[in-house]
Chain A
Amino acid sequence: GQNIDQPTEMTATEGAIVQINCTYQTSGFNGLFWYQQHAGEAPTFLSYNVLDGLEEKGRFSSFLSRSKGYSYLLLKELQMKDSASYLCAFYNYGQNFVFGPGTRLSVLP
Chain B
Amino acid sequence: DGGITQSPKYLFRKEGQNVTLSCEQNLNHDAMYWYRQDPGQGLRLIYYSQIVNDFQKGDIAEGYSVSREKKESFPLTVTSAQKNPTAFYLCASSSGQGIGNTEAFFGQGTRLTVV
Residues of A bordering B, CB below 8 Å:
30-31, 33, 40-45, 48, 87, 89, 91, 93-102, 104
A27 to B44, CA, bound (A): 19
B39 to chain A, nearest CB (A): 10
Chain A residues with CB under 8 A of B94: 97
Chain A residues with CB under 8 A of B58: 96
Instruction: Categorize the interface residue count of chain B.
Output: 20 to 34
Residues of B bordering A, CB below 8 Å:
31, 33, 35, 40-45, 48, 50, 56, 58, 88, 90, 92, 94, 97-99, 101, 103-109
Number of A-B contacts (CB under 8 A): 57
A36 to B61, CA, bound (A): 25
Q: Are B99 and A30 in contact (CB under 8 A)?
A: yes
B31, B33, B43, B88 pick with most chain A CB within 10 angstroms: B43
CB-nearest residue of chain B relative to A4? B42
Known interface pairs A96-B45, A97-B92, A102-B42. Does A30 touch B98 (Cβ–Cβ under 8 Å)?
yes
- Do most interface residues of chain A lie in helix, strand or loop, or is the interface mixed? strand
B38 to chain A, nearest CB (A): 11
B44 to chain A, nearest CB (A): 8
Known interface pairs A42-B109, A94-B50. Does A87 touch B42 (Cβ–Cβ under 8 Å)?
yes
CB-nearest residue of chain A relative to B40? A104
CB-nearest residue of chain B relative to A98? B45
Chain A residues with CB under 8 A of B101: 30-31, 91
Q: Are A42 and B108 in contact (CB under 8 A)?
A: yes
A97 to B58, CA, bound (A): 10
Known interface pairs A42-B108, A94-B97. Does A87 touch B43 (Cβ–Cβ under 8 Å)?
yes
Q: Are B107 and A99 in contact (CB under 8 A)?
A: no
